[in-house]
Amino acid sequence: MKLLDEDQTQLIKEIEELRLQLQEANETIHAIRTGQIDALVVSTEAGPQLYTLKSADHTYRIFIEKMKEGAVTLNQDEIILYSNSQFASMVDLPLSEVIGIPFGRFIPEGCKADFKKLMKSGWTADSKGEILLKNNKDRIIPILLSFTSLELDEGTSLSVILTDLSAQKEAENQLKTKNEQLEEARESIAKMNEELEDMVKERTKDLLMSREYFRYLADNLPVIIWTADTTGKLDYVNRRWHEYTGFDLEHSKTKQSELVHPDDLESSSTAWRLALKCKQKYEQEFRFKRNSDGAYRWHYAQAIPFKDEQGNITAWIGTSIDIDDQKKQLERKDEFIGVASHELKTPLTSLKGYLQLMELQEDLPDPVRSYILKANSSLIKLQRLVDQLLDVSRIKAGKLEFSKQIFDLSALVTQCVENSTIMYPFFTIKKELQENLMVMGNEERIEQVFMNLINNAVKYSPDNRNIVIRSESHGRWAMVSVTDFGVGMSEQDQKFVFERFYRVNGHDHLTPGLGMGLYIASEIIREHKGAIKVKSRLNEGSVFSFFLPLVKEY
């Protein structure tokens, strides 16, 4: 028991000594850090050793403490004799634990060889080198080490300044990434440029080829072909143009008007100006001068605008076809129709007279009377046809003239509807008429127009037997319309139905005809400064309407 007490007393004494030593060490470190002392005693195996800094200057220490860099002093065994607090926080240890431990502890395994080399050169001369540092929490930090050997009283030491390169390395990495991205972008731009160049080359080649091809084609076609720029100025004429007119491109540019017949010059140039302004297709017939004999021959000219993807006109391409022979042939035909229908009129009139005389005969046998009736009805049809032919040739000759006077259109319509009800007893004709529509015109001719519309409504309605007649005022216009629910016609046919001799394909089986009625009707209405229109749907029916200017005073 006594022995135990002695041991315990001994232990307490030793602990007390150790505590005093620790306190002393802490005070020493504090004194060094704050610059209060210039020397340090370290216990080594060979006994306690005293280390003093050669120029232990107070200002220096403060300065070293305030630096951003870590600073340590190592002895020749690479034991840390001195460390500033920055180094302690770099390695993530309390300052008190950093002093006295080997510096190599903070060097990762893979960098030991490099570190050894650096240290070796550091002992001999001021040197620098980059290395990785591993802190207490195994975080790897890139570091720049700067070595300077110091001659201290107790021998040579090595002062090491450690600059944390993390931020710099990060910046370098970022820069590297940015540079790589930049390089990538540059490469892809270069590639795109190359592709673009290839494309341009290809397009240029295509363009040249298509231009060559166009010229080849244009020069070898038996048609006059030309192109013009966006302002309408000629920039190409084909071989046929050159052969026909005798003008080359330069000559044509300035003297083009000399090629058109003086009587057609105004209408053709107005139409061309209008096409340019409205960016619409140009279409015109005019007489074009032939160089070989100076003859003005009729041509049908067309020009269409070329548009880019945005719809802007880039050029005009025009053609001109010699239609002189066809036109003359048509004129001869018209002349023949005119003469023939005129010549037919006299015998028809006398035929009609003889039939009337026969009708007056009493005690005619019944079959003969019925033959006379049939002959009369055929004669009426024939007369109508001859009248239409005469009208057509009059229109062509510009001689469709008639006297005009003011009359009530609604009264005329009412009368015609009444007649039609008698003529077509199987049809239901509904009237929606506005009274008192005073117009100026030729009553007979307007009746001809209206009856033609009713006759057509009957002819082209094989199944539905309803017809609606309307008349009303529309602003300054009097309007009359005939609606049927018959075969109707396509939009395409509606465009041509008022043209001479036009018949809708497939209507022949319904009724024979020559396609003159609507042409004559439209010319009569045109002569009255009115308009005629059609609205139709295939298999649903049609609405034909005409408009005449109302006479205001009434």
CB closer to ligand ADP out of 99 and 504? 504
CB closer to ligand ADP out of 143 and 454? 454
CB closer to ligand ADP out of 316 and 460? 460
Distance CA 192, CA 237 (A): 40
CB closer to ligand ADP out of 107 and 392? 392
CB closer to ligand ADP out of 301 and 457? 457
- How would you classify the pairing of strands 155-164 and 438-441? unpaired
Which H or E run contains 245?
helix 239-245
CB of 480 to ligand ADP, least distance (A): 14
Q: Is 427 helix (H, G, I), strand (E, B) or coil?
A: coil
CB of 428 to ligand ADP, least distance (A): 16
CB of 437 to ligand ADP, least distance (A): 23
CB closer to ligand ADP out of 187 and 499? 499
- What is the 8-class DSSP label of residue 396? H
List strand residue ranges (DSSP E) for 153-217, in order: 155-164
CB closer to ligand ADP out of 246 and 515? 515
Are 421 and 455 in contact, with CB atoms under 8 Å apart?
Answer: no
CB closer to ligand ADP out of 305 and 541? 541
CB closer to ligand ADP out of 70 and 517? 517
Distance CA 120, CA 143 (A): 17
Distance CA 161, CA 72 (A): 7
* Residue 304: both structure tokens together: 């269409």
Handedness of CA 246, 249, 255, 257 (dihedral sign): positive
CB of 231 to ligand ADP, least distance (A): 42
CB of 317 to ligand ADP, least distance (A): 34
- How would you classify the pairing of strands 466-474 and 234-237? unpaired
CB of 547 to ligand ADP, least distance (A): 18
CB of 442 to ligand ADP, least distance (A): 19
Handedness of CA 27, 33, 39, 40 (dihedral sign): positive
Range 146-169 burial, b when 16+ CB lie within 10 A, else e: bbebeebeeeebbbbbbbbbeeee
44 bridge partner residues = 47
Range 476-509 burial, b when 16+ CB lie within 10 A, else e: ebbbbbbbbbbbbbeeebbeebbebeebbeebee
CB of 382 to ligand ADP, least distance (A): 14
**Nearest C-alpha neighbor of 484 from the set 545, 542, 416:** 542
549 bridge partner residues = 477
CB closer to ligand ADP out of 253 and 459? 459
CB closer to ligand ADP out of 119 and 392? 392
Are 133 and 91 in contact, with CB atoms under 8 Å apart?
Answer: yes
Amino acid (1-letter code) at residue 103: F
Binding site residues, ligand ADP, CB under 6 A: 452, 456-457, 460, 484, 486-489, 497, 502-504, 507, 513-519, 542
Rounding to the nearest 10 degrees, give the CA dihedral for residues 511, 515, 518, 520: -130
Q: Is 134 helix (H, G, I), strand (E, B) or coil?
A: strand
CB of 344 to ligand ADP, least distance (A): 18
CB of 456 to ligand ADP, least distance (A): 3
Are 307 and 315 in contact, with CB atoms under 8 Å apart?
Answer: no
CB of 451 to ligand ADP, least distance (A): 11
CB closer to ligand ADP out of 267 and 490? 490
CB of 531 to ligand ADP, least distance (A): 17
* Residue 155: both structure tokens together: 């021998």
Distance CA 92, CA 323 (A): 104
Q: Who contacts 230 (Cβ-Cβ below 8 Å, separation ≥6)?
A: 313, 314, 315, 316
CB closer to ligand ADP out of 371 and 502? 502
CB of 373 to ligand ADP, least distance (A): 24
Distance CA 252, CA 254 (A): 5
Q: How far apart are the first and last CA of the chain?
A: 153
CB of 507 to ligand ADP, least distance (A): 4
Are 219 and 213 in contact, with CB atoms under 8 Å apart?
Answer: no
- How would you classify the pairing of strands 313-322 and 405-408? unpaired
CB closer to ligand ADP out of 515 and 549? 515
Q: Which CA distances in Å does 223 have to 201, 237, 240, 301?
A: 33, 11, 6, 10
Residue nearest to ligand ADP (CB): 513
